[in-house]
Amino acid sequence: MAKKKATAKAADNLTFLKTPTGINGLDEITLGGFPKGRPTLICGAAGCGKTLFSLEFLVKGVEEFNEPGVFIAFEEKADELALNVTSLGFDLKKLQDEKKLRIDYIHIDKSEIEETGEYDLQGLFIRLGYAIDSIGAKRVVLDTIENLFSGLTNEGILRAELRRLFQFLKDKGVTAIITGESGEKTLTRQGLEEYVSDCVILLDHRVVNQISTRRLRIIKYRGSLHGTNEYPFLIDEDGISVLPVTSLKLDKPVSAEIINSGIPSLDKMFPTGGFYKGSSILTSGTAGTGKTSIAVSFADAACKRGEKCLYFAFEESPAQIIRNMKSIDLNLQKHVDKGLLKFYASRPTMYGLEMHLVAIHKAIQKFKPNVVVLDPITNLITIGSFSEVKSMLVRMIDFLQENQITVMFTALTLSTVINDQTDDGVSSLVDSWLCIKDIEMNGERNRGLYVMKARGMQHSNQIREFVITNKGLSLVDVYLGPDGILTGSARETQMLMEETGQVLHRNALGRKDREVLRKRKLLEAKIESLKTEFESAEEELNKIYIEDEIKRGVLNKTRQQMTDLRSGNKDI
């Protein structure tokens, strides 16, 4: 033990040692935790989570770093305290039984106490020292030490003793948290910040537009770099999570891998055959244009690839989405059953934007999805201003890209005039932007989809008609007729008309063919009869000719006979 301490001291000279808090995200913004062996002040107004914060510091210390802790409670009794944090999954009783945690309740009742003459707080020191030594504590919480001021009147002594107390804690080598209630002008009512000067953290619970957000800020951290912003934090069933909201770097990894969108005809609009993995896709359109359907197809495709998808629904409940998507032949339930698809539904007004962001972060870190869908981001505007939503989305996209998670947002555009510059200003952040547009014509409304932008990819410049059928989604080439673009039934009509035309045309062609055939047959028949005529004429001619021949032969013969007769040849 002594040896260990000695080496720690030696290292102390070289580097600034920190005690990891184990609180989600806090170690990131403090770059490692609280200053080791020194007191840290946590201040804030009533109900901002100071006690919980410090208690989690102790519990995590035991659970994750095997560092026993002492909790000196000036406000709540040990049992009350244990009861209050059971909902967060902290079993203080068990930790106490294991001698990993010690909760000491210090009760000060002014009515019981009479002060006369000089005194000091050696009793407190002894109790503290005893508590620390009895379990070998490395972490100490004093919650809230200011209560001393309400019980004891001699402020001069108290202040001197407090100074001594912090020195005592340092000498003990414990990492301590002192909590303090916010004062009017000072950080704490009694000016504790005067004594604890190494690290001061301010917790804040602000209500804007009736929605509360918890925030945390490191006011001071002597000897260490730290994040200086206000960071929102969340208290839920897993305790506290702090979100480091802005990463300053733009050095995210990129992937050339392509993932498909779940709509084959949409993929065909990109020669690459889909979107880049880890990119962000925005689908925007007016009400009822099928944004959610596209988003769900995208999620469905991811699940079919065997990837995990987290679906944030800000508008519909998961059951509603699952039911509705059956109408376009998407069975989401089986993905949910397999654990590939997870819904995270919450009303935007449930809590502030920052809290949403924290909650989304948490959900993503827990589920570790490959694909994330946010449907729709525009609903968040109900709880924040435009610029706030934008800054939230910037950080969100940042976070997602860092983790190589492909994300699809849907956004509702309110006006029919497409604002090319901005859809909540996200357009500059997203990598691909699909725009769905209403095409109203001939008394009906149809959907036209086009790719507004696709970073690093060639893409079709054509507006495609986006059709939603009970077989799923598909894109159809819009019909470019002589009267311009035709969609919907106008397109169908035009196509039908063309088809009719073709049939008629074919029919006409056939008739002509038959006519030719008939004509040929006619002519052929004519030719045949002429031939016969010719043959009979020829025969006639031949007959005369033969008769002549015969006649001539007979004549010759007769003449011969006559000649013979005349010459007296009487032999005949």
Partner 1 sequence: MSKKYELRLYVAGKTLKSVTALNNLKQYCEEHLKGEYVIEVIDLLEQPQLAEGDQILAIPTLVKKVPEPVRKIIGDLSNQEKVLVGLDIRPKL
**Contact footprint for partner 1 (CB under 8 A):** 104, 106-108, 112-124, 126-127, 129-130, 148, 151-152
User: Alpha-carbon distance 225 to 229, whole Å?
Assistant: 12
**In this complex, which beta carbon is closest to partner 1, that of residue 108 or of residue 523?**
108
Q: Which amino acid is at 525?
A: A
Cβ at position 106, least distance to partner 1 in Å: 6
**In this complex, which beta carbon is closest to partner 1, that of residue 113 or of residue 544?**
113
**In this complex, which beta carbon is closest to partner 1, that of residue 111 or of residue 470?**
111
User: Alpha-carbon distance 103 to 39, whole Å?
Assistant: 18
Cβ–Cβ under 8 Å, residues 272 and 457: yes
User: Alpha-carbon distance 111 to 131, whole Å?
Assistant: 27
Q: Which of 324, 356, 360 is nearest to 343 (CA)?
A: 360
Residue for token pair 């962001």:
357
**In this complex, which beta carbon is closest to partner 1, that of residue 82 or of residue 218?**
82
Cβ at position 134, least distance to partner 1 in Å: 8
Give 358: exposed, middle or buried? Use CB within 10 Å, 0-12, 13-18, 19+. buried
Cβ–Cβ under 8 Å, residues 242 and 233: yes
**In this complex, which beta carbon is closest to partner 1, that of residue 131 or of residue 313?**
131
Cβ at position 308, least distance to partner 1 in Å: 52
Q: DSSP 3-state assignment of 282?
A: strand
Cβ at position 125, least distance to partner 1 in Å: 8
Cβ at position 147, least distance to partner 1 in Å: 10
Pairing type for strands 258-259 and 275-276 reads antiparallel
- DSSP label of 478: P
**In this complex, which beta carbon is closest to partner 1, that of residue 16 or of residue 125?**
125
Cβ at position 82, least distance to partner 1 in Å: 17
Cβ at position 113, least distance to partner 1 in Å: 5
The DSSP H or E segment spanning 55 is helix 50-65
Handedness of CA 184, 188, 191, 193 (dihedral sign): negative
**In this complex, which beta carbon is closest to partner 1, that of residue 172 or of residue 226?**
172
Cβ–Cβ under 8 Å, residues 135 and 70: yes
User: Within 10 A of 243 (CB to CB), how many other CB atoms are there?
Assistant: 25
**In this complex, which beta carbon is closest to partner 1, that of residue 130 or of residue 545?**
130
Cβ at position 118, least distance to partner 1 in Å: 5
Cβ–Cβ under 8 Å, residues 275 and 261: yes
Extended beta strands in 168-297, E state: 175-181, 199-208, 211-221, 230-236, 239-242, 258-259, 275-276, 280-285
